[in-house]
Amino acid sequence: MTTITISPSLFSRTMKRHKPAVAPAPAPEGPALFDLLSEEIVFMILDFLDEDPLDRKAFSLVCRSFLALESRHRKSLRPLRAEHLPTALARYPGAAALDLSLCPRVTDASLAVVAAARGDALRSLDLSRSRFFTAAGLMGLASRCRGLLELDLSNATEMRDSAAAAVAEFKNLEKLRLARCKSVTDIGVGCIAVGCRKLRLLSLKWCLGVGDLGVGLVAVKCKEIRSLDLSYLPISNKCLPSIMKLQYLEELVLEGCFGIDDECPVILKDGCKSLKVLDMSSCQNITHVGSSSITNGAGCLQHLTLAYGSPVTFALAASLKRLSMLESLKLDGCMVTTSGLKAIGNCCLSLTGLSLSKCSGVTDDGLSFLVTKHKRLKRLDITCCRKITDVSIAHITSLCAGLTSLRMESCSHVPKEAFVLIGQRCHALEELDLTDNEVDDEGLKSIARCSKLSILKLGICLNITDEGLSHIGKSCSKLVELDLYRSAGITGLGIQEVARGCPSLETVNVSYCNDITDASLMSLSKCKRLKTLEIRGCPLITSLGLAAIAVHCRQLSKLDIKKCCNIDDAGMIPLAHFSQNLRQINLSYTSVTDVGLLSLASISCLQSMTILHLKGLTPSGLAAALLACGGLTKVKLQASFKVVLPQPLFEHLEARGCLFHWRNKVLQAELDPKCWKLLLEDVMH
Amino acid sequence: MDLKMDLEERLRAETWGKPSSVNDLPQRVPPDRQTQFPNFASHKNLQKREDQDPSISNYGMRIEPSFSEFNRPSECQPPLPSNPISQDRGVQMNDILQLGKTQEWDPKAMLNNLSFLEQKIHQLQELVHAIVGRRGPVLGRPDELVAQQQQLITADLTSIIIQLISTAGSLLPSVKNSLSSASTPPIRQLGQLGGILNNSGSGIGLDSNLVLPSQGGSKVPDQSNQVDPMDQSAIDNLEDHESKDDEDGDEGENLPPGSFEILQLEKEEILAPHTHFCTICGKGFKRDANLRMHMRGHGDEYKTPAALAKPHKEAGSEMMLIKRYSCPYAGCKRNKDHKKFQPLKTILCVKNHYKRTHCDKSYTCSRCNTKKFSVIADLKTHEKHCGKDKWLCSCGTTFSRKDKLFGHITLFQGHTPAIPFDENKGGLSLQGEHNEDTNKVGNVSFSFGSSTPSSGGVQNIMEDVKGNVDDPSSFFSPLSFEASNFGGFNEFTRSAFDDSEGAFSFLLQASCNYTQKNGGQSSSNNLE
């Protein structure tokens, strides 16, 4: 291995250069070199090609043997159409993990194809967004794929107990997700509990038909369970004793279980030594008394979430003292007292993560004291703690130098000088959320020193301009996500600087930055990895800018050009031609017409479209486009079209797996950003 | 009446002043209202206590206060029929006893009793008067009302007789002693009382002697009410109750061997439908009470309270061994020859046991046609719940309650809840429709392109599109699969958890309806 050192990036670049050539001529020594490598070694190299999915494609296009190698190497498939399953499964014989969540229609026939092609070799199957399959299809799958270990059936809202009984036939299943299977009852879960004895992970989130009996039986029968998600189930204290007897239980989510009250923690007291993660968010009926006594039993607890629960008082916080292993604590949305914060400071020894998002009652006093005790803090979320000022920020920055993530959206009393401190002291920051703050160019200049920054959110920061952003662009080369939503001080220059300095940008949001022009988009097109672009409400952007993005950013998958009224069909045609990975587009309020929309139909990945208030769109054009886009799963349309177009058309599209969302919004004039913020503040106060 | 009230006042002043408001209440109610229609319900409740002392058997309403005293161990039992007056008197007597004076008959008490009796007879007289007066209008009524009234009168008369006897008996010191000791078993008292009656040679014959031990005179109308043939529901209830008498009920009983007498009925005896036969016409009955009601039809002599009363168990049964029963089936655990013999408690237990264990199950449930029973009461119990057992286990056992099913499944390895049949069927039929949909989808997407002579620019692009649609390879460009790492996409396509069921359900509905229509063909036609 040491003798052959091929950098993956170099490798992929080489391959890419070959790509335009129709039939890549074999390099003189290429095949010979690769013949020396055993298949295992090539597979190891291929393992490094995870970063960019196009790299693998490039590799497989080199020659026949590479194609075969890559086909054998592929372990997981995520097809867009179930119709192509036979071909895909034949081409990738080693793919044991199958994700069908992107297929608009997964019928029993599709499942039969999978069963026939993979049989016992199938390990993982994701049907989390699939529809149209039935219990019979699952039963057929179960009879042939006995090796299945992981199954995701989330969102199968029509799935009934008979389907659950079919799931129970997968005897070796270890992970099962049934989130939002609302029609499954205790009986179905009972079948699963009896059938799938090896379950290690089970998610029953939002299975509203499942109660104490079903959950109790799962706890009795499936002794191997490590992770159990019971969020929003109508369960009560009754099923908890048996859950607590699960020997290996590590993660328990009881979010929004209103039936559980203060009795529960008493039960927890003598249970579950293995528990590491406990989430009791939104359990309305657990008061601070109950929360205090929870912590008696679970000594190994590492992550505790008590969000949207009882007030964090001194008593509750003091009870955390017993949790010597606690690493992260989430108290989002709770009433927090200063004494409570101080008690947390005194109790928990080794917190690395703390979330106080939307906690009312967080004061400078409490927070400052807390951080003096928790100097190892890495992640801190103080979103919407509106009482804190520069005092807190000074303490946080000076004491927690190791901070990697700081979220402080809407800390409106923090003055702009405080943000300079962040840049001066917290050099390890990777994620910084300053949305809706007073930060200005000076602050950004300082923050630019955080060279590891990968996520930066500066939405609704009205004090920043291109100058500040340029500093970021110059030094934060690792930036992946940049949010400048409604930061109206930004024009073209700042964006250009960022685009130049941050080549790995994947997500950019410049919505409602009115002064952004085509020039900015052209510079952004240098970011080859761009996947998500939101440029809502930028009236200066034309089709020209969009074309630049389309041509250069081949990985673009989400595009929002709502209210870019100067973008028309001319922008759509290059998009249709080049952006073959586009999955989701919002075209509302643009000048696109029938022609543009129809051209988009050639993007085979396209799944979701929002088409509101397109002046140039005729009903027949829309119908043609909808029919031509075979993979659509979700379309948002104006309600007026519902009447104009024939009902059978919609029925046909729905049978293909497309959902329609009808909107009846009136056209609204766009507001000036500053005015918009004032309006927002009015609403808040 | 005035006299009585005076007396009461006086007595109260003399004694401890104990009588509470509870005591007062029944006294103030006009006596005729108290006694005219004995309250059966309260009688039933009281009967147990009445058993303890047969002399306190009457005037249910009036007895109530005295019973509260009765329960106190320190209290002496009143020697005389217990109306509030006599109770007060009892207390007095208690005083006397405590003082250690020799007991003499108390003329005051005697006077009380006599005046009470007088009053009672007067009431009865009034009642009969009223009946006579009502005769005319009542003529059209069925006989049973008359019979009921008759029984009432007989009951009252009986009680008067009893009171009279006990009053007479109070003259004898031996009776006083036996009555004042609360612990004396009722039967011995009865025996003594009977003896006294015989000794005293009073005009009352054996007849009334039989009435006495029966559980109070008031019991007679009560009982006749229970077995009243018109009151079918009462009998039904009785049967239900009996059917619950399981032969296993005596499991916990640990009688030392030899401490009970073992009886063994023969098979024919057990299976005989009737056990009580009319000596006159030979008609058989399951219950003695029914036989007695039947006997009334054979003449007036069977209508006397004595004849209607439940025949009392033989006196001195206390001395007898407890009866237990053996099953005639050899080898049965309930057979006396079995090594671990477990006797049956009653004849009914024997019958039910024998039928359930050693007989064919001849009664089949008409609803499910599967469950069979040998005891008809079992069938009736089953039929009440048959079809309601909707919770089904894979082993075929049904449960009326879901938690019972889950308890069963928790207990047994390999058992699993069974899905109701109708749901399975639904799932299969859905599948068919979906398959049809698939076909339609295929048809439409191809027919569309060729049948759309649409306007200008659209037309051209449509050709392009059609080309794409027709060529499967363009859909299935390898590129489509390259995207397996686009993790973020999921969140974007659908708002993380849009909980709108509507979207799904309307889709399902639409897709079901869809098969009936002409699908895409028509839609593309409409486009033109």
Rounded CA-CA distance B343/B346 in Å is 9
Tokens found for residue A184:
């499954």
The per-residue pLDDT for A301 is: 86
Q: How many CB pairs under 8 A join A and B?
A: 251
Rounded CA-CA distance B386/B390 in Å is 9
Distances, alpha carbon B86 to alpha carbons B9, B36, B62, B111, in Å: 13, 21, 11, 11
Rounded CA-CA distance A215/A286 in Å is 20
Residues of chain A with pLDDT under 70: 1-34, 264-271, 291-298, 667-685
Residue from B392, B462, B484 whose CB has the most chain A CBs within 10 Å, to mutate:
B484
More confident residue, B135 or B108: B108
Q: Work out the pLDDT band at B504, boundaries 50, 70, 90.
A: very low
Rounded CA-CA distance B215/B209 in Å is 12
How far A668 CA lies from chain B's nearest CA (Å)?
23
Domain range for residue B275?
A: 260-309+321-360
pLDDT above 80: residue B307: no
Rounded CA-CA distance B225/B33 in Å is 21
| CA-closest candidate to residue A337, choices A345, A326, A328, A349 | A345
Q: Work out the pLDDT band at B396, boundaries 50, 70, 90.
A: confident
Whole-prediction pTM: 0.62
Residue B476 touches chain A, beta carbons under 8 Å: yes
Q: Which residues contact B9 (CB under 8 A, 6 or more apart)?
A: none
Residue B525 in domain: no
**Contact of B48 with B63, CB cutoff 8 Å:** no
Residue B344 in domain: yes
Q: Which amino acid is at A383?
A: T
Rounded CA-CA distance A627/A624 in Å is 5
What's the structural domain count of chain B? 1
Residue B475: which of A81, A188, A594 has the nearest Cβ?
Answer: A81
Residue B398 in domain: no
Average pLDDT, chain B: 58
pLDDT above 50: residue B309: yes
Alpha helices in A476-532 (DSSP H): 492-501, 518-524
Which residues in chain B are contacts of A88 at CB distance < 8 A? 476, 481
Residue B439 touches chain A, beta carbons under 8 Å: no
The per-residue pLDDT for A668 is: 66
Q: Determine what percent of chain B is predicted with pLDDT higher than 70.
A: 37
More confident residue, A179 or B257: A179
The per-residue pLDDT for B238 is: 39
How far B496 CA lies from chain A's nearest CA (Å)?
11
The per-residue pLDDT for A180 is: 92
**Contact of B290 with B353, CB cutoff 8 Å:** no
HSE-up of A342 (CA within 13 Å, CB side)? 8
Distances, alpha carbon B103 to alpha carbons A412, B84, B94, B98, in Å: 102, 22, 11, 11
Residue B300 in domain: yes
Which residues in chain A are contacts of B522 at CB distance < 8 A? 646, 648
Whether residues A627 and B524 touch (CB distance < 8 A) is answered with yes
Q: Which amino acid is at A591?
A: S
**Contact of A279 with A249, CB cutoff 8 Å:** no
Whether residues B416 and A605 touch (CB distance < 8 A) is answered with no
The 10 Å Cβ neighbour count of residue A210 is 27
Q: Which amino acid is at B120?
A: K
The per-residue pLDDT for B433 is: 40
The per-residue pLDDT for B258 is: 67
Which residues in chain A are contacts of B406 at CB distance < 8 A? 186, 190, 213-214, 216-217
Query: Among all chains, which residue has been given the structure tokens 């009431």?
Result: B123
Chain B contacts in chain A segment 544-573 (CB below 8 A): 557-558
Chain B contacts in chain A segment 179-238 (CB below 8 A): 180, 182, 186-188, 190-191, 194-195, 206, 213-214, 216-217, 220-221
Which residues in chain B are contacts of A79 at CB distance < 8 A? 480-481
Query: Among all chains, which residue has been given the structure tokens 């995701």?
Result: A152
Residue B282 touches chain A, beta carbons under 8 Å: no
Rounded CA-CA distance A246/A418 in Å is 49
How far B388 CA lies from chain A's nearest CA (Å)?
17
Whether residues B431 and A649 touch (CB distance < 8 A) is answered with no
Based on the number of CB atoms within 10 Å of its own CB, is B254 exposed (0-12), middle (13-18) or buried (19 or more)?
Answer: exposed
**Contact of A554 with A531, CB cutoff 8 Å:** no
Whether residues B435 and A656 touch (CB distance < 8 A) is answered with no
The 10 Å Cβ neighbour count of residue A192 is 30
Rounded CA-CA distance A516/A541 in Å is 7
Q: Which amino acid is at B263?
A: L
The per-residue pLDDT for B143 is: 64
In the beta sheet, which residues pair with residue A97? A76, A124
Residue B487 touches chain A, beta carbons under 8 Å: no
Residue B477 touches chain A, beta carbons under 8 Å: yes
Average pLDDT estimate for B105-131: 79
pLDDT above 80: residue B201: no
Rounded CA-CA distance A92/B462 in Å is 33
The per-residue pLDDT for A80 is: 86
Chain-centroid distance of CA A289 in Å reads 35
What residue of B is the nearest CA neighbor of A646? B523
Query: Among all chains, which residue has been given the structure tokens 């916080």?
Result: A317
Name the CA dihedral angle for A641, A642, A645, A648, rounded to a multiple of 10 degrees: 150
The per-residue pLDDT for A600 is: 92
| CA-closest candidate to residue B45, choices B241, B185, B232, B222 | B222
Which residues in chain B are contacts of A532 at CB distance < 8 A? 488, 492
The per-residue pLDDT for A683 is: 63
In the beta sheet, which residues pair with residue A638? A663
Residue A112 touches chain B, beta carbons under 8 Å: no
Which residues in chain A are contacts of B508 at CB distance < 8 A? 158
Residue B173 in domain: no
**Contact of B213 with B312, CB cutoff 8 Å:** yes
Rounded CA-CA distance A475/A490 in Å is 18
Residue B274 in domain: yes
The per-residue pLDDT for A300 is: 81
Which residues in chain A are contacts of B438 at CB distance < 8 A? 105, 107, 109
Tokens found for residue A442:
């000076």
Residue B331 touches chain A, beta carbons under 8 Å: no
Residue B391 in domain: no
Whether residues B504 and A81 touch (CB distance < 8 A) is answered with no
Q: Work out the pLDDT band at B204, boundaries 50, 70, 90.
A: very low
More confident residue, A86 or B166: A86
> ∠ CA B131-B132-B136 to the nearest 5 degrees?
100
DSSP A505-521: --EEE-TT-TT--HHHH
Rounded CA-CA distance B155/B190 in Å is 19
Assign residue B22 a region (left: φ > 0; alpha: ψ between -120 and 50; beta: otherwise).
alpha
Weakest-pLDDT range from B244-253, B305-314, B482-491: B482-491
Query: pLDDT tens-digit profile of A345-368?
Result: 887 777 899 999 999 889 999 999
Residue B271 in domain: yes
DSSP A553-599: -TT--EEE-TT-TT--HHHHHHHHHH-TT--EEE-TTS--BHHHHHH
Tokens found for residue B526:
């409409």
Residue from B480, B516, B518, B526 whose CB has the most chain A CBs within 10 Å, to mutate:
B480
Tokens found for residue A71:
């086909």
More confident residue, A663 or B44: A663
**3-state SS assignment for residue A305:** strand
